[in-house]
Structure 1
Protein backbone atom coordinates (compact mmCIF):
# COMPACT_ATOMS: atom_id res chain seq x y z
CA UNK A 1 0.00 0.00 0.00
CA UNK A 2 1.35 3.44 -0.92
CA UNK A 3 2.14 6.04 1.74
CA UNK A 4 -0.73 8.32 0.55
CA UNK A 5 -3.20 5.47 0.78
CA UNK A 6 -1.90 4.54 4.24
CA UNK A 7 -2.41 8.09 5.53
CA UNK A 8 -5.89 8.19 4.01
CA UNK A 9 -6.83 4.86 5.65
CA UNK A 10 -5.50 6.00 9.03
CA UNK A 11 -7.48 9.22 8.69
CA UNK A 12 -10.68 7.22 8.14
CA UNK A 13 -9.94 5.17 11.28
CA UNK A 14 -9.43 8.33 13.32
CA UNK A 15 -12.70 9.79 12.03
CA UNK A 16 -14.55 6.63 13.02
CA UNK A 17 -13.05 6.79 16.52
CA UNK A 18 -14.52 10.29 16.95
CA UNK A 19 -18.09 9.12 16.46
CA UNK A 20 -18.54 8.25 20.15
CA UNK A 21 -17.03 11.43 21.50
CA UNK A 22 -19.25 14.29 22.70
CA UNK A 23 -19.79 17.03 20.12
CA UNK A 24 -18.38 20.39 21.28
CA UNK A 25 -20.79 23.33 21.26
CA UNK A 26 -20.85 25.34 18.06
CA UNK A 27 -18.91 28.59 18.08
CA UNK A 28 -21.11 31.67 17.97
CA UNK A 29 -21.35 33.20 14.50
CA UNK A 30 -20.54 36.90 14.38
CA UNK A 31 -21.61 37.32 10.77
CA UNK A 32 -24.39 36.11 8.54
CA UNK A 33 -21.86 35.03 5.91
CA UNK A 34 -18.52 33.64 6.94
CA UNK A 35 -16.73 34.64 3.73
CA UNK A 36 -17.77 38.31 4.21
CA UNK A 37 -17.34 38.55 7.97
CA UNK A 38 -14.37 40.92 7.77
CA UNK A 39 -16.70 43.60 6.37
CA UNK A 40 -18.22 43.91 9.84
CA UNK A 41 -15.08 45.79 10.91
CA UNK A 42 -15.27 48.22 7.96
CA UNK A 43 -17.19 51.47 8.39
CA UNK A 44 -16.10 53.35 5.25
CA UNK A 45 -14.65 52.31 1.90
CA UNK A 46 -13.18 54.02 -1.13
CA UNK A 47 -13.80 52.82 -4.70
CA UNK A 48 -11.46 53.94 -7.45
CA UNK A 49 -11.75 53.23 -11.16
CA UNK A 50 -8.47 52.16 -12.75
CA UNK A 51 -7.19 53.73 -15.98
CA UNK A 52 -7.03 51.40 -18.97
CA UNK A 53 -4.04 51.81 -21.30
CA UNK A 54 -5.95 50.30 -24.24
CA UNK A 55 -8.76 52.80 -23.77
CA UNK A 56 -6.37 55.74 -23.66
CA UNK A 57 -4.36 54.65 -26.72
CA UNK A 58 -7.18 53.34 -28.93
CA UNK A 59 -9.83 55.86 -27.93
CA UNK A 60 -12.43 53.10 -27.55
CA UNK A 61 -14.45 52.09 -24.50
CA UNK A 62 -13.05 49.11 -22.59
CA UNK A 63 -14.56 47.14 -19.67
CA UNK A 64 -14.21 49.02 -16.40
CA UNK A 65 -11.92 47.92 -13.57
CA UNK A 66 -11.97 49.15 -9.98
CA UNK A 67 -10.33 48.59 -6.62
CA UNK A 68 -12.22 48.75 -3.31
CA UNK A 69 -10.15 49.64 -0.24
CA UNK A 70 -10.88 50.39 3.38
CA UNK A 71 -10.68 54.16 3.57
CA UNK A 72 -8.97 54.48 6.95
CA UNK A 73 -6.18 51.93 6.34
CA UNK A 74 -5.98 51.65 2.54
CA UNK A 75 -6.24 47.86 2.80
CA UNK A 76 -7.38 46.21 -0.43
CA UNK A 77 -10.77 44.52 -0.06
CA UNK A 78 -11.79 43.69 -3.63
CA UNK A 79 -10.72 43.99 -7.23
CA UNK A 80 -13.66 44.62 -9.56
CA UNK A 81 -13.79 43.52 -13.19
CA UNK A 82 -16.65 44.32 -15.55
CA UNK A 83 -17.99 41.58 -17.80
CA UNK A 84 -20.20 42.47 -20.76
CA UNK A 85 -20.52 42.24 -24.52
CA UNK A 86 -18.11 44.66 -26.21
CA UNK A 87 -20.64 45.70 -28.85
CA UNK A 88 -23.13 46.57 -26.10
CA UNK A 89 -20.64 48.99 -24.55
CA UNK A 90 -20.15 50.75 -27.89
CA UNK A 91 -23.89 51.00 -28.55
CA UNK A 92 -25.47 51.51 -25.11
CA UNK A 93 -22.47 53.03 -23.27
CA UNK A 94 -23.43 53.96 -19.70
CA UNK A 95 -26.85 52.33 -20.04
CA UNK A 96 -25.43 48.90 -20.90
CA UNK A 97 -26.23 45.73 -19.06
CA UNK A 98 -23.24 44.25 -17.21
CA UNK A 99 -21.92 41.91 -14.54
CA UNK A 100 -19.34 43.26 -12.11
CA UNK A 101 -17.22 40.48 -10.60
CA UNK A 102 -15.68 41.25 -7.20
CA UNK A 103 -12.56 39.23 -6.40
CA UNK A 104 -11.31 39.23 -2.82
CA UNK A 105 -7.74 39.28 -1.47
CA UNK A 106 -7.56 35.48 -1.78
CA UNK A 107 -8.34 35.75 -5.52
CA UNK A 108 -11.81 34.27 -5.07
CA UNK A 109 -14.71 35.58 -7.12
CA UNK A 110 -17.04 36.11 -4.21
CA UNK A 111 -19.59 38.76 -5.26
CA UNK A 112 -21.25 39.70 -8.52
CA UNK A 113 -23.37 42.75 -9.22
CA UNK A 114 -25.69 42.33 -12.20
CA UNK A 115 -27.52 44.98 -14.16
CA UNK A 116 -29.96 42.61 -15.81
CA UNK A 117 -31.75 44.75 -18.36
CA UNK A 118 -30.67 46.90 -21.28
CA UNK A 119 -32.18 50.28 -20.52
CA UNK A 120 -30.90 52.48 -23.32
CA UNK A 121 -33.26 54.95 -24.99
CA UNK A 122 -32.81 53.26 -28.36
CA UNK A 123 -34.04 49.90 -27.03
CA UNK A 124 -37.00 50.81 -24.85
CA UNK A 125 -36.88 54.49 -23.89
CA UNK A 126 -37.03 53.75 -20.15
CA UNK A 127 -33.57 54.90 -19.14
CA UNK A 128 -34.74 57.56 -16.69
CA UNK A 129 -37.80 55.71 -15.44
CA UNK A 130 -36.49 52.33 -14.35
CA UNK A 131 -33.13 50.77 -13.60
CA UNK A 132 -31.78 48.24 -11.10
CA UNK A 133 -28.87 46.06 -10.06
CA UNK A 134 -28.97 42.68 -8.31
CA UNK A 135 -26.33 41.63 -5.77
CA UNK A 136 -25.30 37.96 -5.56
CA UNK A 137 -22.79 36.29 -3.22
CA UNK A 138 -21.17 32.90 -3.73
CA UNK A 139 -21.83 30.23 -1.11
CA UNK A 140 -18.48 28.60 -0.37
CA UNK A 141 -20.11 26.18 2.08
CA UNK A 142 -21.95 24.52 -0.80
CA UNK A 143 -20.23 21.80 -2.81
CA UNK A 144 -21.39 23.52 -5.99
CA UNK A 145 -20.36 27.01 -4.87
CA UNK A 146 -23.79 28.25 -5.90
CA UNK A 147 -24.87 31.90 -5.74
CA UNK A 148 -27.29 33.52 -3.31
CA UNK A 149 -29.23 36.65 -4.13
CA UNK A 150 -28.63 39.03 -1.25
CA UNK A 151 -30.85 41.82 -2.56
CA UNK A 152 -31.19 44.51 -5.19
CA UNK A 153 -31.29 48.26 -5.72
CA UNK A 154 -33.89 50.04 -7.87
CA UNK A 155 -33.92 53.55 -9.27
CA UNK A 156 -37.25 55.37 -9.32
CA UNK A 157 -38.17 58.20 -11.62
CA UNK A 158 -38.44 61.69 -10.16
CA UNK A 159 -38.30 65.01 -12.06
CA UNK A 160 -36.26 66.72 -9.34
CA UNK A 161 -33.97 64.28 -7.48
CA UNK A 162 -32.33 60.90 -8.12
CA UNK A 163 -34.21 58.38 -5.97
CA UNK A 164 -33.18 54.81 -5.18
CA UNK A 165 -34.48 52.13 -2.84
CA UNK A 166 -32.43 49.29 -1.35
CA UNK A 167 -34.08 45.88 -0.90
CA UNK A 168 -32.85 42.83 1.00
CA UNK A 169 -33.43 39.20 0.00
CA UNK A 170 -35.48 37.53 -2.70
CA UNK A 171 -38.71 38.86 -1.22
CA UNK A 172 -37.47 42.42 -1.56
CA UNK A 173 -37.83 43.82 1.96
CA UNK A 174 -37.14 47.56 1.77
CA UNK A 175 -34.26 48.58 4.05
CA UNK A 176 -32.98 51.98 2.92
CA UNK A 177 -33.75 54.84 0.57
CA UNK A 178 -31.11 56.91 -1.23
CA UNK A 179 -31.59 60.47 -2.42
CA UNK A 180 -29.22 62.43 -4.62
CA UNK A 181 -28.65 66.10 -5.43
CA UNK A 182 -30.40 68.07 -8.14
CA UNK A 183 -27.08 68.55 -9.95
CA UNK A 184 -24.86 65.46 -10.08
CA UNK A 185 -21.90 66.98 -11.92
CA UNK A 186 -18.57 67.17 -10.11
CA UNK A 187 -18.46 66.22 -6.44
CA UNK A 188 -21.88 65.01 -5.32
CA UNK A 189 -23.34 63.47 -2.18
CA UNK A 190 -26.06 60.81 -2.12
CA UNK A 191 -27.67 60.34 1.28
CA UNK A 192 -28.69 56.94 2.67
CA UNK A 193 -31.80 57.20 4.84
CA UNK A 194 -34.50 54.94 6.24
CA UNK A 195 -37.05 56.45 3.87
CA UNK A 196 -37.17 59.21 1.28
CA UNK A 197 -39.05 61.52 3.67
CA UNK A 198 -36.70 60.91 6.61
CA UNK A 199 -34.52 63.84 7.63
CA UNK A 200 -31.89 61.78 9.46
CA UNK A 201 -28.96 60.67 7.27
CA UNK A 202 -27.62 57.21 8.11
CA UNK A 203 -24.84 56.90 5.54
CA UNK A 204 -23.31 58.66 2.55
CA UNK A 205 -22.27 57.75 -0.98
CA UNK A 206 -20.01 60.49 -2.26
CA UNK A 207 -18.49 61.17 -5.64
CA UNK A 208 -15.15 62.75 -4.76
CA UNK A 209 -13.80 65.79 -6.58
CA UNK A 210 -10.84 64.63 -8.69
CA UNK A 211 -9.61 68.02 -9.86
CA UNK A 212 -10.75 70.22 -12.74
CA UNK A 213 -8.60 68.57 -15.39
CA UNK A 214 -9.45 64.99 -14.47
CA UNK A 215 -13.16 65.72 -14.03
CA UNK A 216 -13.56 66.93 -17.60
CA UNK A 217 -11.00 64.79 -19.45
CA UNK A 218 -11.50 61.29 -18.01
CA UNK A 219 -14.07 58.91 -16.53
CA UNK A 220 -11.78 57.48 -13.83
CA UNK A 221 -13.78 58.56 -10.81
CA UNK A 222 -13.30 58.03 -7.09
CA UNK A 223 -16.17 57.31 -4.70
CA UNK A 224 -16.47 56.89 -0.97
CA UNK A 225 -19.17 54.98 0.90
CA UNK A 226 -19.83 55.52 4.60
CA UNK A 227 -22.03 52.70 5.83
CA UNK A 228 -24.97 53.23 8.18
CA UNK A 229 -24.13 52.10 11.74
CA UNK A 230 -25.13 48.68 13.08
CA UNK A 231 -25.68 46.92 9.76
CA UNK A 232 -24.19 43.55 8.87
CA UNK A 233 -21.97 42.71 5.91
CA UNK A 234 -24.98 41.55 3.90
CA UNK A 235 -26.42 45.07 3.69
CA UNK A 236 -22.97 46.54 3.15
CA UNK A 237 -22.54 44.45 0.01
CA UNK A 238 -25.95 45.58 -1.31
CA UNK A 239 -24.99 49.22 -0.70
CA UNK A 240 -21.82 48.65 -2.73
CA UNK A 241 -24.16 47.59 -5.54
CA UNK A 242 -26.06 50.86 -5.07
CA UNK A 243 -22.83 52.82 -5.46
CA UNK A 244 -22.04 51.14 -8.77
CA UNK A 245 -25.53 51.79 -10.10
CA UNK A 246 -25.08 55.48 -9.24
CA UNK A 247 -21.68 55.49 -10.95
CA UNK A 248 -23.00 54.04 -14.21
CA UNK A 249 -26.16 56.12 -14.11
CA UNK A 250 -24.56 59.52 -13.63
CA UNK A 251 -20.78 59.39 -14.05
CA UNK A 252 -19.88 56.76 -16.62
CA UNK A 253 -20.11 59.18 -19.55
CA UNK A 254 -22.52 59.69 -22.40
CA UNK A 255 -25.58 57.48 -22.62
CA UNK A 256 -25.01 57.12 -26.39
CA UNK A 257 -28.51 56.09 -27.39
Structure 2
Protein backbone atom coordinates (compact mmCIF):
# COMPACT_ATOMS: atom_id res chain seq x y z
CA UNK A 1 0.00 0.00 0.00
CA UNK A 2 3.12 2.09 0.65
CA UNK A 3 2.53 5.77 0.13
CA UNK A 4 3.35 6.85 3.67
CA UNK A 5 6.91 7.76 4.53
CA UNK A 6 7.19 7.51 8.32
CA UNK A 7 10.68 8.98 8.43
CA UNK A 8 9.37 12.35 7.28
CA UNK A 9 6.72 12.83 9.97
CA UNK A 10 6.08 12.39 13.67
CA UNK A 11 3.90 9.40 14.41
CA UNK A 12 1.81 8.74 17.50
CA UNK A 13 3.60 6.22 19.76
CA UNK A 14 2.76 2.61 19.04
CA UNK A 15 -0.05 1.16 21.16
CA UNK A 16 -0.05 -2.35 22.60
CA UNK A 17 -2.73 -4.80 21.39
CA UNK A 18 -5.99 -4.69 23.34
CA UNK A 19 -8.18 -7.82 23.62
CA UNK A 20 -11.32 -7.47 21.52
CA UNK A 21 -10.04 -4.38 19.69
CA UNK A 22 -9.48 -4.70 15.91
CA UNK A 23 -5.71 -4.63 15.23
CA UNK A 24 -4.47 -1.11 14.56
CA UNK A 25 -7.43 0.64 16.18
CA UNK A 26 -5.80 0.68 19.63
CA UNK A 27 -4.75 4.27 18.89
CA UNK A 28 -8.39 5.32 18.93
CA UNK A 29 -8.85 4.28 22.57
CA UNK A 30 -6.51 7.12 23.63
CA UNK A 31 -8.06 10.06 21.78
CA UNK A 32 -11.23 12.14 21.54
CA UNK A 33 -10.30 14.11 18.44
CA UNK A 34 -8.95 13.44 14.95
CA UNK A 35 -7.54 15.86 12.39
CA UNK A 36 -7.78 14.88 8.72
CA UNK A 37 -5.60 16.78 6.24
CA UNK A 38 -5.88 16.15 2.53
CA UNK A 39 -2.71 16.24 0.44
CA UNK A 40 -2.18 18.88 -2.21
CA UNK A 41 -1.88 17.13 -5.59
CA UNK A 42 0.30 19.16 -7.96
CA UNK A 43 -0.79 17.23 -11.06
CA UNK A 44 -4.44 17.92 -10.23
CA UNK A 45 -3.77 21.63 -9.68
CA UNK A 46 -1.93 21.98 -13.00
CA UNK A 47 -4.21 19.88 -15.20
CA UNK A 48 -7.63 19.88 -13.48
CA UNK A 49 -7.68 16.08 -13.82
CA UNK A 50 -9.03 14.45 -10.67
CA UNK A 51 -6.48 12.19 -8.95
CA UNK A 52 -6.85 9.68 -6.13
CA UNK A 53 -7.25 11.56 -2.85
CA UNK A 54 -4.68 11.11 -0.08
CA UNK A 55 -4.97 12.16 3.55
CA UNK A 56 -3.03 12.28 6.80
CA UNK A 57 -4.98 11.44 9.96
CA UNK A 58 -3.50 13.02 13.11
CA UNK A 59 -4.23 13.43 16.79
CA UNK A 60 -4.68 16.80 18.50
CA UNK A 61 -0.89 17.05 19.06
CA UNK A 62 -0.26 16.83 15.32
CA UNK A 63 1.17 13.31 15.56
CA UNK A 64 0.18 11.15 12.62
CA UNK A 65 -1.96 8.12 13.40
CA UNK A 66 -2.95 6.89 9.97
CA UNK A 67 -2.45 7.52 6.29
CA UNK A 68 -5.45 7.21 3.94
CA UNK A 69 -5.44 6.85 0.18
CA UNK A 70 -8.26 6.41 -2.29
CA UNK A 71 -8.48 3.63 -4.84
CA UNK A 72 -10.80 4.37 -7.76
CA UNK A 73 -10.96 4.21 -11.53
CA UNK A 74 -9.51 7.13 -13.54
CA UNK A 75 -12.59 7.47 -15.77
CA UNK A 76 -14.93 7.31 -12.78
CA UNK A 77 -13.02 10.13 -11.08
CA UNK A 78 -13.30 12.39 -14.13
CA UNK A 79 -16.93 11.60 -14.97
CA UNK A 80 -18.56 11.14 -11.57
CA UNK A 81 -16.69 13.62 -9.39
CA UNK A 82 -17.77 13.56 -5.76
CA UNK A 83 -20.46 10.95 -6.46
CA UNK A 84 -17.90 8.35 -7.42
CA UNK A 85 -17.52 5.00 -5.77
CA UNK A 86 -14.19 4.28 -4.14
CA UNK A 87 -12.25 2.15 -1.74
CA UNK A 88 -10.31 4.05 0.93
CA UNK A 89 -7.32 2.24 2.40
CA UNK A 90 -6.25 3.45 5.85
CA UNK A 91 -2.83 2.30 7.00
CA UNK A 92 -0.78 2.67 10.18
CA UNK A 93 2.85 3.70 10.64
CA UNK A 94 4.08 0.29 9.42
CA UNK A 95 1.96 0.56 6.25
CA UNK A 96 -0.40 -2.15 7.47
CA UNK A 97 -4.00 -1.63 6.40
CA UNK A 98 -6.11 -1.28 9.56
CA UNK A 99 -9.30 0.16 8.07
CA UNK A 100 -10.99 -0.10 4.69
CA UNK A 101 -13.91 2.05 3.58
CA UNK A 102 -16.11 1.09 0.66
CA UNK A 103 -18.47 3.46 -1.11
CA UNK A 104 -20.65 2.15 -3.93
CA UNK A 105 -21.40 4.40 -6.90
CA UNK A 106 -25.11 5.19 -7.17
CA UNK A 107 -26.26 6.93 -10.32
CA UNK A 108 -29.02 8.85 -8.51
CA UNK A 109 -27.26 8.94 -5.17
CA UNK A 110 -26.98 11.89 -2.84
CA UNK A 111 -30.46 13.44 -2.95
CA UNK A 112 -31.40 14.10 0.68
CA UNK A 113 -35.14 14.12 -0.13
CA UNK A 114 -35.06 10.50 -1.30
CA UNK A 115 -32.36 9.16 1.03
CA UNK A 116 -34.84 6.75 2.64
CA UNK A 117 -34.31 4.60 -0.49
CA UNK A 118 -31.23 2.39 -0.50
CA UNK A 119 -30.64 3.06 -4.21
CA UNK A 120 -30.32 6.80 -3.50
CA UNK A 121 -28.77 7.11 -0.04
CA UNK A 122 -25.02 7.73 -0.05
CA UNK A 123 -23.27 5.35 2.31
CA UNK A 124 -19.96 3.84 3.32
CA UNK A 125 -19.18 0.50 4.92
CA UNK A 126 -16.33 0.42 7.43
CA UNK A 127 -14.15 -2.68 7.71
CA UNK A 128 -11.51 -3.52 10.32
CA UNK A 129 -9.62 -5.52 9.28
CA UNK A 130 -10.43 -5.60 5.57
CA UNK A 131 -13.38 -7.91 4.93
CA UNK A 132 -14.78 -7.59 8.47
CA UNK A 133 -17.54 -4.96 8.59
CA UNK A 134 -17.73 -3.08 11.90
CA UNK A 135 -20.24 -0.38 10.98
CA UNK A 136 -21.75 1.93 8.40
CA UNK A 137 -22.24 5.60 7.61
CA UNK A 138 -25.52 6.21 5.79
CA UNK A 139 -27.17 9.36 4.50
CA UNK A 140 -30.61 9.78 6.05
CA UNK A 141 -33.66 11.48 4.63
CA UNK A 142 -34.11 15.22 5.22
CA UNK A 143 -35.59 18.16 3.40
CA UNK A 144 -32.57 20.45 3.48
CA UNK A 145 -30.05 19.62 6.18
CA UNK A 146 -27.26 17.11 5.47
CA UNK A 147 -28.09 14.17 7.76
CA UNK A 148 -26.24 10.92 8.36
CA UNK A 149 -26.75 7.88 10.55
CA UNK A 150 -23.81 6.09 12.17
CA UNK A 151 -24.79 2.41 12.35
CA UNK A 152 -23.24 -0.56 14.10
CA UNK A 153 -22.65 -3.88 12.35
CA UNK A 154 -26.28 -4.87 13.04
CA UNK A 155 -27.33 -1.62 11.28
CA UNK A 156 -28.69 -0.19 14.53
CA UNK A 157 -28.48 3.59 14.84
CA UNK A 158 -25.79 4.64 17.34
CA UNK A 159 -25.18 8.29 16.41
CA UNK A 160 -26.46 10.90 14.00
CA UNK A 161 -24.65 13.68 12.17
CA UNK A 162 -26.63 16.82 11.40
CA UNK A 163 -25.16 19.41 9.06
CA UNK A 164 -26.00 23.10 8.68
CA UNK A 165 -28.93 24.38 6.63
CA UNK A 166 -26.61 26.45 4.42
CA UNK A 167 -22.85 26.88 4.27
CA UNK A 168 -20.05 28.38 2.23
CA UNK A 169 -16.38 29.19 2.56
CA UNK A 170 -14.90 32.08 0.61
CA UNK A 171 -13.04 35.36 1.09
CA UNK A 172 -16.06 36.82 2.90
CA UNK A 173 -17.01 33.67 4.82
CA UNK A 174 -14.02 32.07 6.54
CA UNK A 175 -15.70 30.30 9.45
CA UNK A 176 -15.42 26.56 9.90
CA UNK A 177 -18.41 24.54 8.67
CA UNK A 178 -19.76 22.40 11.51
CA UNK A 179 -21.66 19.13 11.31
CA UNK A 180 -22.91 18.19 14.78
CA UNK A 181 -22.54 14.62 16.07
CA UNK A 182 -25.71 13.85 18.00
CA UNK A 183 -27.34 11.08 20.01
CA UNK A 184 -29.80 8.97 17.96
CA UNK A 185 -32.79 10.98 19.21
CA UNK A 186 -31.00 14.30 18.49
CA UNK A 187 -31.34 15.34 22.14
CA UNK A 188 -27.64 15.49 23.03
CA UNK A 189 -24.61 16.78 21.16
CA UNK A 190 -21.84 14.17 21.35
CA UNK A 191 -19.18 15.81 19.22
CA UNK A 192 -18.54 17.72 16.04
CA UNK A 193 -17.24 17.23 12.50
CA UNK A 194 -15.81 20.47 11.12
CA UNK A 195 -14.61 21.45 7.66
CA UNK A 196 -11.86 23.91 8.53
CA UNK A 197 -11.08 27.08 6.60
CA UNK A 198 -7.88 26.42 4.64
CA UNK A 199 -7.04 29.93 3.47
CA UNK A 200 -7.99 31.86 0.33
CA UNK A 201 -5.45 30.30 -2.03
CA UNK A 202 -6.01 26.73 -0.92
CA UNK A 203 -9.81 27.02 -0.96
CA UNK A 204 -9.92 28.76 -4.35
CA UNK A 205 -7.41 26.69 -6.31
CA UNK A 206 -7.50 23.22 -4.77
CA UNK A 207 -9.75 20.50 -3.36
CA UNK A 208 -7.33 19.79 -0.50
CA UNK A 209 -9.54 20.07 2.59
CA UNK A 210 -8.86 19.97 6.32
CA UNK A 211 -11.28 18.44 8.80
CA UNK A 212 -11.47 17.99 12.56
CA UNK A 213 -13.75 15.58 14.34
CA UNK A 214 -14.38 15.25 18.07
CA UNK A 215 -16.21 12.51 19.99
CA UNK A 216 -16.48 11.11 23.53
CA UNK A 217 -13.30 9.46 24.80
CA UNK A 218 -15.27 6.38 25.90
CA UNK A 219 -16.97 5.87 22.54
CA UNK A 220 -16.19 2.43 21.10
CA UNK A 221 -13.33 2.24 18.63
CA UNK A 222 -15.75 0.86 16.05
CA UNK A 223 -17.90 3.98 16.22
CA UNK A 224 -14.83 6.25 16.25
CA UNK A 225 -13.71 4.51 13.07
CA UNK A 226 -17.17 5.06 11.54
CA UNK A 227 -16.99 8.76 12.39
CA UNK A 228 -13.66 8.87 10.59
CA UNK A 229 -15.41 7.25 7.62
CA UNK A 230 -18.06 9.97 7.82
CA UNK A 231 -15.36 12.59 7.25
CA UNK A 232 -14.56 11.11 3.85
CA UNK A 233 -18.21 10.77 2.85
CA UNK A 234 -18.92 14.40 3.79
CA UNK A 235 -15.77 15.53 1.96
CA UNK A 236 -16.72 13.76 -1.27
CA UNK A 237 -20.37 14.80 -1.17
CA UNK A 238 -19.97 18.49 -0.36
CA UNK A 239 -16.38 19.60 -0.91
CA UNK A 240 -15.02 17.52 -3.80
CA UNK A 241 -15.80 20.23 -6.34
CA UNK A 242 -13.70 20.68 -9.51
CA UNK A 243 -11.81 23.95 -9.62
CA UNK A 244 -12.42 25.76 -12.92
CA UNK A 245 -9.39 26.43 -15.05
CA UNK A 246 -10.83 29.84 -15.60
CA UNK A 247 -10.16 30.60 -11.95
CA UNK A 248 -6.46 29.94 -12.27
Partner of 1:131: 122
Query: 2 CA distance for matches of 1:153 and 1:248?
Result: 13
Pick aligned residue for 2:140 from 141, 156, 171 = 156
Q: Which moved more, 1:126-135 or 1:89-98?
A: 126-135
Q: Are 2:68 and 1:80 equivalent residues in the alignment?
A: yes
Pick aligned residue for 2:28 from 23, 32, 39 = 39
Q: Which has the larger radius of gyration?
A: 1
Partner of 1:59: 48
Query: 2 CA distance for matches of 1:126 and 1:41?
Result: 36
What SS class does the counterpart of residue 32 from structure 1 fall into? coil
Partner of 2:229: 241
> If the length of structure 1 is used for normalisation, what is the TM-score?
0.78
**Cα distance, 1:82–1:177 mapped onto 2, change above 3 Å:** same
Q: Are 2:159 and 1:176 equivalent residues in the alignment?
A: yes
Contact 2:58–2:65 under 8 Å retained in 1? yes
Q: Quote the RMSD (CA, aligned, Å).
A: 1.7
Q: Are 2:182 and 1:212 equivalent residues in the alignment?
A: no
Partner of 2:219: 231
Query: 2 CA distance for matches of 1:114 and 1:184?
Result: 27
What SS class does the counterpart of residue 35 from structure 1 fall into? coil
Q: What residue ranges of structure 1 are gaps of 5+ in the alignment?
A: 1-27, 139-145
What SS class does the counterpart of residue 52 from structure 2 fall into? coil
Query: 2 CA distance for matches of 1:193 and 1:159?
Result: 18
> If the length of structure 2 is used for normalisation, what is the TM-score?
0.80
Query: 2 CA distance for matches of 1:196 and 1:98?
Result: 31
Cα offset, 1:196, TM superposition: 4.9
What SS class does the counterpart of residue 147 from structure 1 fall into? coil
Query: 1 CA distance for matches of 2:159 and 2:101?
Result: 18
Query: 1 CA distance for matches of 2:151 and 2:216?
Result: 15
Query: 2 CA distance for matches of 1:87 and 1:69?
Result: 31
What SS class does the counterpart of residue 172 from structure 1 fall into? coil
Contact 1:192–1:202 under 8 Å retained in 2? yes
